[in-house]
Structure 1
Amino acid sequence: MRKEQIDKMNIIFRMTFMLSLVFLILISSSSVSAKSSSGVYKDKVAVLMYHHVHDKDSSSSTISSMLFRDQLIYLRSKGYQFIRLEDFRHFLAGGAVPSNAVLITFDDGYESFYKVAYPILKELSIPAVNFTITSYLEKPSKTIPHLSYAQLKQMMAKSTSIDFQCHTNQLHQKVGEKSALTYVNKKAGGKNALELHKSRVKQDTQTCVNLLKKAGVKNPDSISYPFGIYSKTLFPTMLRAGVSYGYTTKPGLAKKGINKLEIPRINAGSPDITPEVLYKRIKRLS
């Protein structure tokens, strides 16, 4: 074979090899990109936040029973796996959770949880935790009905995957741009205002914990901050009061190593959040 022919063959071989290599790189890159945008995540938990599930009431934090059910069914069809509060604690301590893990949470302890949301959760075998304003357990509210002791006990007796935690006892009010949980009244307390406030917060939190224990809750160690407002200054106070986990309204997925008193959540409980919108929201944050 002539030298010119050999050189030509070598050039063709090298060009073929380079084109094949580029093709493989493009395929690999495409595969990684598809995987990263598929919505699949590991070692993370999407903590979803709801408030009121009702078919007549309407507000920015109220969704219908149909929308609530559709969201849960849609997420399950997309491969999301619902976990218990106990599983989430285990995860934050370094344990494992399934891929696409989701924790369902409710704030405020409305009676609609018992009458509307709980039957759906039970039917679909989906765990949930309700952050309850415990003062309403002792004295019913005059506005939207809240849960009673009897209802808490009944749900816990019938399902080990339904949990209840603190949403304060009597500090769920707005004070200007702050909540009663974080507002320090300097005029009334003077130089000791902050310490007096810490004492009130500790007492209120301990009362919340004790009332949940009275209702039969085995491990009340978590709080959801009213209106999502919290202060890092109060973290030591929370810990002394028996609370180890704090849930915010900051969007994001929970990861190992986060501050356990600053757990992010994703709002799912507004009437304009369709199943598809919720799925895309979780996917974007993952």
Structure 2
Amino acid sequence: MNKPIASAMLLFLIGVTLLLPALSASDGKALYSDQVAVLMYHHVHDEDTSSSTISTKLFEDQLVYLQNNGYHFISLGQFESFMQGADVPDNAVFVTFDDGYESFYTHAYPVLEKLRIPATSFVITDKHSDPQAYAPPFMSVEQIKTMTSAHPGMISAQCHTNGMHNDPVTPYMTNRIIVDGVQETEEQYRARIVADTEACIRSMSPLGPEIVNAMAYPYGVFDKASAQLVHAAGIRYAFTIVPEMAKRNVNPLQIPRINAGNPNISPEVLHETIKRRIQITAP
């Protein structure tokens, strides 16, 4: 074999080797079917740092990596249809954000829009009166409307309670709090959970075209009583922080999510985390 031909073959083999990841990602093989990896994020920012803050680059790198490795992103509407019996694509992923920080609008939304990836933001509504008074600041109602109206069904906004996201040590959702120096009664507790949930739904309903019927529990904390109360107030789907895959037979008020919003979660680590959570269905 002469030298030019050998060189050409070597270049060809190198090219094929470089293409192998892309070829394997598009070979149609499903990692999983009939279940959804619901991802949880909080804050995407390039100066702020915390265990729940990731950079814009890492956020985009994660999503692009998943796209290139055969994952298919679905919207809230598709997820709810799945829970009601509809099919979803193989390797389905649903992106969610908690709290309603302004960074969802300024940092995450442009990436989602560019990649055409749906997402849902769970919003704390008692911050709407003065969203810039906090660190980090929260989204304004105008910012939320801008996203949901520009991409109906793709970007959605739902509830993270109205005013029960204030104390991780004594979560308001499950504890009987002190009112005027006296612990609230069981009746007062039940009335408070229902009233707060209804207030959140009222605040969020004008901000997008979709029905407000979903919630992420504050700090992921809930119990049987609180789940029943938010359901009575109008919530049909409630999301936890239990790190599992979501299957159709899961309790719709106890939907698991996989944390993707830690700065140490590289695209590859996220991919492997999802793979470890896949639930094998018996034939």
Q: Normalised by the size of structure 1, how large is the TM-score?
A: 0.83
Deviation at 1:215, TM superposition (A): 2.1
Matching residue of 2:9: none
Amino-acid identity (%): 45
1:121-160 paired onto structure 2 within 5 Å: 121-140=112-131, 141-160=133-152
1:224-239 paired onto structure 2 within 5 Å: 224-239=216-231
Contact 2:160 2:218 (8 Å CA) reproduced: yes
> Distance in 1 between the 2:42 and 2:71 partners?
21
> Distance in 1 between the 2:168 and 2:42 partners?
21
Equivalent residue pairs, number = 247
Contact 2:243 2:256 (8 Å CA) reproduced: yes
Structure 2 unmatched runs, 5+:
1-28, 279-283
For residue 203 of structure 1, give the secondary structure of its aligned residue in structure 2: helix
1:6-85 paired onto structure 2 within 5 Å: 40-85=31-76
Q: Which has the higher helix share?
A: 1
> Distance in 1 between the 2:57 and 2:135 partners?
24
Deviation at 1:139, TM superposition (A): 2.5
**Counterpart residue identity of residue 60, structure 1:** S
Q: Normalised by the size of structure 2, how large is the TM-score?
A: 0.84
Matching residue of 1:211: 203
> Distance in 1 between the 2:208 and 2:75 partners?
17
Matching residue of 1:7: none
Contact 2:53 2:262 (8 Å CA) reproduced: yes
What value does the CA root-mean-square deviation take over the aligned residues? 1.6
**Counterpart residue identity of residue 163, structure 2:** Q
**Counterpart residue identity of residue 142, structure 1:** Y
Contact 2:75 2:119 (8 Å CA) reproduced: yes
Structure 1 unmatched runs, 5+:
1-37
> Distance in 1 between the 2:215 and 2:110 partners?
24
1:106-121 paired onto structure 2 within 5 Å: 106-121=97-112
> Distance in 2 between the 1:39 and 1:49 partners?
22
> Distance in 2 between the 1:49 and 1:110 partners?
14
Deviation at 1:217, TM superposition (A): 4.5
| CA offset digits 1:49-80 (Å, max 9, x no partner) | 00000000000000000000000000011100
Contact 2:157 2:207 (8 Å CA) reproduced: no
Residue 162 (structure 2) pairs with residue 169 (structure 1): yes
1:182-193 paired onto structure 2 within 5 Å: 182-185=174-177, 193=185
Contact 2:148 2:207 (8 Å CA) reproduced: no
For residue 33 of structure 2, give the secondary structure of its aligned residue in structure 1: coil
> Distance in 2 between the 1:185 and 1:52 partners?
28
Contact 2:76 2:120 (8 Å CA) reproduced: yes
For residue 120 of structure 1, give the secondary structure of its aligned residue in structure 2: helix
